[in-house]
């Protein structure tokens, strides 16, 4: 280990110890951006960037478990990404499936990781869609409290999530014999939130995006109304534990107002 690495390790320990435990986010959303640029800068195939990004995801969930973050939503593949070349998508789907397996097999702190898919599985190849359904069902039956609940956003679009929530709300109302007028009269933000992909979970306290881009790209559009945002210049495969701790420190120092 070089002097630079030793200095970073000491610095990381210092700011980690200074994090107030009561200011750790309950839910963090992450736009895992920069895998393709990382590969381009490294002069390697795009698949290498996606693989490096997948390795970082497994490492990141370990950090969350260690630091006490109970819920994470990872933006891994948007509906817009589905327009990429067939070869890239095929490779990416295989890497995502492998990442799911690794997360399900991991036990950070001796406890399992609960993997919950969010998005439109019908847009995905059936083997991956089936695997997403199976990991969700398997861990939903597990009795052990998970170390981290991980929402995996694959084939996900924020606008589509809101559309799907309204559709489900209307279908439920119809099944109970309610008219459109009755639904409209009683409609509240909470009644729509009850049908989102993340229903039953807290809204994200903090959303992190890597690679220097400063936009949501449709990620958790409804849920992020009062989220804090942290934009990091590092490409996702280069995102370090010290970068994560800096994001948590920045969050802990903010005064959240919730519109007041």
Binding region for Mg(2+) = 33, 228
Catalytic annotation, residues = 33, 81
User: Which residues are annotated binding-site positions for substrate?
Assistant: 34-38, 50, 78-80, 84, 209, 215-217
| Radius of gyration, alpha carbons of the chain | 19
Place of tokens 């381009």: 40
Distance CA 111, CA 139 (A): 12
Name the strands in the sheet holding 206-209, side by side, starting at the edge strand that comes first in the sequence.
113-118, 148-156, 71-78, 27-31, 206-209, 228-231
Whole-number Å distance between alpha carbons of 14 and 246: 11
Residue 226: CB atoms within 10 A of its CB come to 12
Backbone dihedral region for residue 186 (phi beyond 0: left; psi -120 to 50: alpha; all else: beta):
alpha
Residues at the annotated binding site? 33-38, 50, 78-80, 84, 209, 215-217, 228
């Amino acid at each position: 280990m070089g002097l630079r690495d030793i200095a970073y390790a000491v610095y990381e320990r210092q700011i980690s110890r200074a994090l107030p435990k009561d200011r750790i986010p309950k839910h963090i959303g992450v736009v895992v951006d920069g895998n393709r640029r990382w590969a381009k800068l490294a002069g390697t195939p795009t698949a290498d960037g996606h693989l490096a990004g997948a390795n970082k995801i497994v490492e990141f969930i370990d950090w969350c478990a260690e630091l006490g973050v109970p819920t994470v939503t990872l933006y891994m593949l948007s509906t817009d990404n589905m327009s990429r070349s067939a070869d890239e998508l095929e490779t990416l789907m295989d890497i995502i499936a492998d990442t799911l397996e690794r997360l399900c097999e991991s036990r950070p702190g001796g406890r399992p990781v609960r993997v919950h898919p969010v998005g439109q599985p019908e847009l995905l190849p059936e083997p991956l869609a089936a695997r997403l359904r199976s990991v969700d069902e398997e861990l939903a039956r597990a009795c052990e409290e998970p170390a981290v609940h991980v929402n995996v956003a694959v084939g996900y679009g924020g606008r589509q999530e809101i559309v799907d929530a309204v559709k489900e709300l209307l279908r439920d109302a119809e099944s109970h014999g309610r008219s459109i007028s009755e639904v409209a009269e009683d409609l509240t933000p909470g009644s729509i939130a009850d049908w989102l992909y993340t229903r039953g979970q807290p809204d994200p306290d903090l959303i992190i995006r890597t690679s220097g881009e400063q936009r949501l790209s449709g990620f958790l559009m409804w849920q992020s109304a009062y989220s804090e945002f942290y934009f990091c210049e590092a490409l996702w495969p280069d995102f370090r534990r010290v970068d994560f701790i800096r994001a948590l420190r920045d969050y802990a120092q903010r005064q959240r107002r919730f519109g007041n």
